[in-house]
Amino acid sequence: SRCPMRCPRADGFLYCITLRFGVYSVCLYDMVSSIFDIIGTVTTLLYPEILSRSQDNDAFHGAEASEAGSAAGRRMMVRAGKATILLAALQVYFGFRGAIASRIGNTRDVGEYVGFKVLYLSLTLVMQMTLHRLWWDGCGMLSQEVCLDQKSQFIFVGLVALLPGLYCLWVSWSLYDSLKDGGEQVLYRAGYDEYDLEQRRQ
């Protein structure tokens, strides 16, 4: 009942919802949020002037200090936008399959959702931490000390932002591990009823 890293199973989602409906809720959230990500990113790519009016310097905002920096920023914006759309589309697909699988108790599909979740979180972390202009356009007028401090902050913020996703991954893995275990008491605790267990016996 333990994974290779010896992590225990979650008893439920937020300690008040069963694993079954917790993972179902996470999958639905993934689907809906990804659809909005696609809409927002497509809008940004079609109307890049929206970004030029903003003063932010996050992953989708280019360097405005020079023409070269601005051009590099636009190229990075396009690449990051395409990557975001691809990941969001995949998350809609796997979220849909995961939602159905968690409801009916399909071990294989839940396992595939967990595997995709690992990949998605890893790529998202890399994008959040490394797509800022300081990584690819230099430190500009910042001193090396301040520049290093800024980069450290990006890494820290990226890791902190990952925590909710890691929790959802742990809950999803816990359901997968429970389904793989197959014990009736384990499945009862995960949120499956007698009808579901009877379907699995057939």
**Given this model, what pLDDT does residue 59 score?**
42
Q: For residue 150, give Cα distances in angstroms to 20, 129, 146, 154.
A: 41, 11, 6, 6
**182: helix, coil or strand?**
coil
Percent of the chain with pLDDT over 90: 47
7-55 pLDDT, tens digit per residue, is 899 999 998 899 999 999 999 999 999 999 999 999 988 887 766 555 4
Name the token pair of 18: 């069963």
Cα 93 to Cα 33: distance, rounded to the nearest angstrom = 13
**Given this model, what pLDDT does residue 53 score?**
55
Q: How confident is the model at residue 131 (pLDDT cuts 50, 70, 90)?
A: low
